[in-house]
């Protein structure tokens, strides 16, 4: 068995002295692990940093074997972010979330493209925190836990949608949710409008709280409802950076 695909490094665990078990998010084969001989050695370790884009070649005798990866670095995404605390924290969080959330060997081409888009945004887009929150929303959707933010769950209204029900994941209008607002999650406009409105730090925090709630409830339920520590650190750092 063998295939070639483009992939994004999610994690590399040392295996023995110099080898590593590397986990990639590939375009056509989903999250896939494989052994890389020399992957933890001095020369190759830089290639297998989370977020780096690689051209991967996987080989195994049987399809359900771990198999071996041979990877060539296509674009080093992690290096330019090393001295930028917030984008670096976001990169680590995104890779940790994908590593923990996605089942192995199931293709998610849209998520692969989305993660590449997020990595592009981290490199040169000031509005990358919004992109991150939207990316988590898309991740929820791809995993079957998408939120319905188009219409009010209570009244059917399509205007003034400012809350989300933490139970159903459906939008709730300001009028219908007024009595329950303490129990509802805020729905920031940038999440609802799909990118037309620029978001402030409060809105981004609300967006991450929204996605974090549903990630914990649905995706990380098997992990005791706990998101990866890298995501917690990113959210905490983002909050501190915006002075909250």
Partner 1 sequence: MAGAAIEQLIAHLSKLPGLGPRSSRRAVLHLLKRRETLLVPLLKALTVAAEEVKACGRCGNLDTVDPCAICADPERDDTVICVVEEVADLWALERTHAFKGRYHVLGGILSALDGIGPEDLNIAGLVARAREPAVREIILATSATVDGQTTAHYLTDRLAGLERIVSRLAHGVPIGGELDYLDDGTLSTALKARRPF
Residue of 4, 10, 130, 124 whose CA lies nearest to 71? 4
In this chain, which of 111, 118, 230, 235 binds partner 1, going by CB under 8 A? 230
Helical H runs in the chain? 85-101, 109-124, 128-142, 174-177, 189-193, 201-214, 229-241
Residue 92 vs 191, nearer CB to partner 1: 92
- Read off the tokens for 128: 């990358």
In this chain, which of 170, 217, 218, 237 binds partner 1, going by CB under 8 A? 237
Residues 122-181 that bind partner 1 (CB under 8 A): none
Residue of 110, 137, 105 whose CA lies nearest to 34? 105
The distance of closest approach from Cβ of residue 60 to partner 1 in the complex, given in angstroms and rounded to an integer, is 23
- Read off the tokens for 198: 């620029």
The distance of closest approach from Cβ of residue 128 to partner 1 in the complex, given in angstroms and rounded to an integer, is 16
The distance of closest approach from Cβ of residue 124 to partner 1 in the complex, given in angstroms and rounded to an integer, is 12
Q: Which residues contact 82 (CB under 8 A, 6 or more apart)?
A: 88
Per-residue binding string, partner 1, 69-88, x by CB under 8 A, is: ----x-xxxxxx-xx-x--x
The distance of closest approach from Cβ of residue 92 to partner 1 in the complex, given in angstroms and rounded to an integer, is 6
The answer to whether residue 22 forms part of the interface with partner 1 (CB under 8 A) is: no
* Interatomic CA distance for residues 169 and 183, integer angstroms: 13
The distance of closest approach from Cβ of residue 197 to partner 1 in the complex, given in angstroms and rounded to an integer, is 30
Q: Residue 156's CB: how many other CB atoms inside 10 A?
A: 9
Q: How many residues in the shown chain lie near partner 1 by CB under 8 A?
A: 32
Phi and psi of 61, rounded to 5°?
Answer: -75, -45
Q: Residue 48's CB: how many other CB atoms inside 10 A?
A: 24
In this chain, which of 55, 110, 221, 229 binds partner 1, going by CB under 8 A? 229
* Interatomic CA distance for residues 161 and 172, integer angstroms: 6
Per-residue binding string, partner 1, 23-62, x by CB under 8 A, is: ----------------------xxx-xxxx----------
Residue 99 vs 142, nearer CB to partner 1: 99
């Amino acid at each position: 068995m063998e295939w070639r695909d483009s992939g994004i490094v999610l994690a590399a665990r040392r295996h023995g002295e110099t080898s590593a078990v590397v986990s990639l998010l590939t375009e056509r084969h989903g999250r896939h692990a494989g052994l890389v001989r020399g992957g933890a050695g001095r020369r190759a370790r830089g290639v297998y940093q989370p977020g780096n884009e690689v051209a991967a070649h996987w080989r195994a005798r049987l399809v359900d074997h771990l198999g071996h990866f041979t990877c060539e670095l296509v674009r080093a995404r992690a290096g330019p972010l090393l001295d930028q605390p917030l984008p670096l924290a976001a990169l680590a969080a995104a890779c940790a979330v994908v590593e923990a959330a996605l089942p192995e060997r199931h293709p998610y081409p849209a998520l692969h493209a989305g993660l590449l888009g997020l990595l592009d945004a981290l490199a040169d887009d000031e509005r990358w925190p919004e992109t991150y929150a939207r990316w988590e929303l898309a991740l929820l959707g791809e995993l079957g836990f998408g939120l319905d933010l188009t219409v009010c769950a209570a009244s059917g209204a399509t205007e003034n949608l400012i809350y989300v029900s933490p139970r159903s994941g459906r939008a709730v209008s300001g009028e219908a949710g007024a009595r329950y607002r303490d129990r509802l999650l805020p729905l920031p406009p940038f999440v609802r409008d799909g990118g037309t409105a620029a978001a402030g730090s409060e809105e981004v925090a609300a967006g991450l709280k929204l996605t974090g709630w549903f990630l914990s409830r649905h995706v990380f339920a098997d992990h005791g409802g706990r998101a990866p520590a890298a995501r917690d650190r990113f959210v905490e750092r983002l909050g501190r950076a915006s002075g909250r």
